[in-house]
Amino acid sequence: MKIRFSVLLVCWLVFLPIRAQGQEFPRPFSRGLFVSVIQEPPVLSSREAIVKLVTFAKQADIQVLFVQIYYANRAWFPSRVGDPAPYEACLRDVGEDPLKLLIKEAHVAGIQVHAWLNMLSLNDNENAPLLRKYGTEILTRDAGEKRALADYKIDHQYFLEPGDLCVRKELGAMVEEVLRRYPDLDGVQFDYLRYPDVHPVYGHTKVNLRRFKEVTGFGTVRDQNPVWQRWKRDQVTGFLSELVREVRAFRPGIRVSATGCMPYPRAYDEAFQDWPAWIDRGLVDFVTVMNYSPDPAQFERWNLNVKGEVKDFRKMNIGIGAYRLGNAPEVFAKEYRLCETAGAGACVVFHYGSLLENPALAEPLLGTK
């Protein structure tokens, strides 16, 4: 069966560069730190924790903080798209908008703050506002029968369908909420912009299947059909493209980035992420790949794999999984040294809470080891 010309046109439009010709690439950085809401208590829940974070980042020469403010359709900022209860609790505890306070304190210390947004994962939040509003039709799924909400859970999470236009509209509105609320924000990082990668057989929602059939002319969908696989990859990249255009239109000078699965074959064939294309075609400023291997030899191999997949390795950041190495700080130190000499744009530690739980992990950052 011939693929319609419209498919090729969509693919071409998806990969049009976002950054204007001649626009200067933002100032590079070499050290970043993920600040997650999963740590207890969350940093944004107290003024003391915010000051402590900025003080640590300054001592550790961290230039960029990736601060999680949207997770499982819960919002740590005023939101109509996500559940704002976490923000409201933090606002009561801090006495002012906690992210605004963090941005102000970080800027005084010469540190950038990027909003870290978990896009397509609802985690295990069965009370997510988007789920209450649209029902299970917005959840990506395989072709099997579904009788209960729990049947949609994949790897202990509910995933939104990137090929659903309602999902794109709602999450795009959420990003606009962030940009309007925080004009001093330095960047936006899109995380979980992918299909589930446990088994690459998802995407069988009514909306996504209908759109696929209308565009391609296929009457049936087979998971191993390369046209179907390319369609899913294009839904991920197309959604990212829409988000980036929205951000650029609203805040032309802000940095826009995404996270990428590792290793690359997993990202491309299972999560349907084509992060080398995102970089090589100028879609985002940089990608942070999650190289969370606890084996230094594999960590190094995966870094070389990343280097071989992109034209400019300096636009790739290497995420290091401190959360997996709490009992092996010497392994974390070795991987951090490997990262620093790899030639990538930056080394980004996941995550701050792990460094608090085991201060020995912070020694390579603080220059004490």
In order along its 369 residues, the chain shows pLDDT tens digits of: 444 434 444 444 444 444 433 333 445 789 999 999 999 889 999 999 999 999 999 999 999 999 999 999 999 999 999 999 999 999 999 999 999 999 999 999 999 999 999 999 999 999 999 999 999 999 999 999 999 999 999 999 999 999 999 999 999 999 999 999 999 999 999 999 999 988 899 999 999 999 999 999 999 999 999 999 999 999 999 999 999 999 999 999 999 999 999 999 999 999 999 999 999 999 999 999 999 999 999 999 999 999 999 999 999 999 999 999 999 999 999 999 999 999 999 999 999 999 999 999 999 999 865
Q: Interior CA angle at 209 toward 191 and 192, to 5°?
A: 5
Distance CA 39, CA 20 (A): 39
For residue 139, list its beta bridge partners: 160
Per the omega criterion (within 30 degrees of 0), is the bond before 78 cis? no
Residues near 168 by beta carbon (within 8 Å), at least 6 away in sequence: 162, 239, 242
Give me the half-sphere count of Cα atoms (radius 13 Å) on the Cβ side of residue 109.
Answer: 25
Measure the CA–CA gap between 51 and 14, rounded to whole angstroms.
41
Q: Read off the tokens for 309.
A: 């997949």
Contact assessment for residue 34 and residue 348, using Cβ atoms and an 8 Å cutoff: yes
Query: What is the predicted pLDDT for the residue at 5?
Result: 37
pLDDT of residue 50: 98
| Residues 37, 115: Cα–Cα separation, whole Å | 12
pLDDT at position 362 is: 97
Residue matched to tokens 């990428």:
260
Any idea where the domains of the chain sit in the sequence?
5-13+31-284
Give the pTM.
0.92
Most distant CA atoms of the chain, gap in Å? 63
- How far CA 169 is from CA of 39, 174, 212, in Å, comes to 30, 9, 19
Where are the alpha helices (H) located in 21-164, listed in sequence order? 47-59, 85-94, 98-108, 129-134
pLDDT at position 368 is 65
pLDDT of 369: 53
Handedness of CA 42, 284, 293, 328 (dihedral sign): negative
pLDDT at 27: 58
Q: What pLDDT shows up at residue 13?
A: 43
Single-letter residue type at 315: K
Q: Which two tokens stand for residue 124?
A: 């295990």
CB 235 within 8 A of CB 162: yes
- One of 3.30.70.250, 3.20.20.80, 1.10.3720.10, 3.40.50.460 is the CATH number of 5-13+31-284, namely 3.20.20.80
- Name every residue whose Cβ is closer than 8 Å to that of residue 263 and which is 6 or more positions away in sequence: 302, 305
